[in-house]
Amino acid sequence: MNKIIMHKIIFILAGVIAAVTFASEASALPVFARQTGMECAACHFQHYPLLTAFGRSFKTGAFTMVGSQAKVEGDNLSIPVVVNAAVLTSMGYEKTNATQDPAAMGAKTSPGGSLTGAFYVPSTGGETSLFLGGRGSDFMGFLTELTMGGGAGAADSIKTPILFDLNGTRVGPVFFSTNGQGASYGFETLNTGANAIHSITNTVGFNGQYINAISAQQWIGTGAAATGMSLVVGNEMGFLNLTKFDQTGPATANFYALTSTYLRGAFTFDLAGWDSAIGVQNWRGNSLSGLPLATVASDTKATAVDGQMQGAFGKMPVGFYFSYATAPASTATSVNAFNSSATDSRNSLNFDAELGVVPDVATLGAAVRRANNVDINGARQKDNALYLTATYKMAQNLLARLSYVKQNGSFWDSPSNVAGSTNTMGQDYGTTSYTVNLYAVF
């Protein structure tokens, strides 16, 4: 590591330390904490958005659990006296040599095309989202995310689970629509990146470089627009999710037939005191892929397996996660939305780990990706990544994160194969990114 890079890392770490030093105490709690009267850590493992076993149970219960909050009750009526809300904001600085979409980053580029870095604040590059959610009855809940700032007031994601309690097992439909979380948004509880919300990183990256390093499912592109209905069966032993969907979301404001199918099964169990799970996902069928004027459907074909173990080394909590996903090649008559290549399949194997070096305060995490991608010439190439991260929880709802990722392999050898490589001589340069950011939920 050269001195320039080392100085940059020291500068970023200094920024995090300064933010920790001068941050005020945040006492406000997000939407479900208000409803249940419980602290955020009750549902989240180490830090949000990772779920504990209790968090999975709350989600399987259709967001209906109420603590001390008053309710309006009557015949077939049981709702909180208020509609609970929360706001999520993010801000930070990202530097990368990727040139995939500098205009979208709002960053200046050097003569060689490398980005000089970009600051982002809530609603201007960063996120500002308003969440409304909670109990609608003893078997029905809801969750709505409204994206503020650019496209202010636009519905980003919404779901309404209607899950009846049958002797401890919840059964019923979940109706949903999302602009970017895919069919798995209907119902998911594992922390493997099967849905991008539940993973060791809440930093996606301007080019998706961080989430793609830790999740095989997200690397193949399953986090797309989706509207559909899930039929869910779930309890403490796991869940089954059968979803009919189309790859269109609230942003397109169109209605299509639900011609794609998503099948998800996950088994949760205790392994020598470790909260463990293993699961499988399968996408089938075809969809109009969210294009308002599309007349030709695209295939939605992919398969994934994943698993997790969450426990502790002594007093330090630790989580281990893996995911593998593959998407078959497109055909002469139909393009696969998860793999546009007509010559070969795409697949990725990802391993993640996160250690609570200061329990409930600070973590260190790492992930590796070993993937086979297909370049624009139809050749099968290596597309690997190394991801490092550190978090500091200033409060249960205020999280600082430092992220680093290096993507390399033969897929990155030629700049004609993929936007983002600064390579001009055929060497394996790949891309490198650094991000420091702060998330607040209140």
Domains within the chain, CATH numbers bracketed: 3-441 (2.40.160.10)
Nearest Cα residue to 394 out of 355, 354, 441? 441
Kindly report the average pLDDT of the chain as a whole number. 83
Average pLDDT rounded to a whole number, residues 339-353 = 95
Average pLDDT rounded to a whole number, residues 413-426 = 47
Q: Given a cut of 80, is residue 328 above it in pLDDT? A: yes
Q: What is the pTM of this model?
A: 0.87
Average pLDDT rounded to a whole number, residues 432-436 = 92
**β-pair type (125-126, 118-122):** parallel
Token digits for 75? 């015949």
pLDDT in tens, 267-292: 999 999 999 999 999 999 988 765 54
Average pLDDT rounded to a whole number, residues 93-112 = 52
DSSP, residue by residue, 19-81: HHHHPPPP----HHHHHH---GGGTBSSSTT-B-HHHHHHHHTTT----SS-EEEETTEEEES
* Backbone dihedral angles phi then psi of residue 306, each to the nearest 5 degrees: -155, 170
Q: 302 with 329: CB under 8 angstroms?
A: no
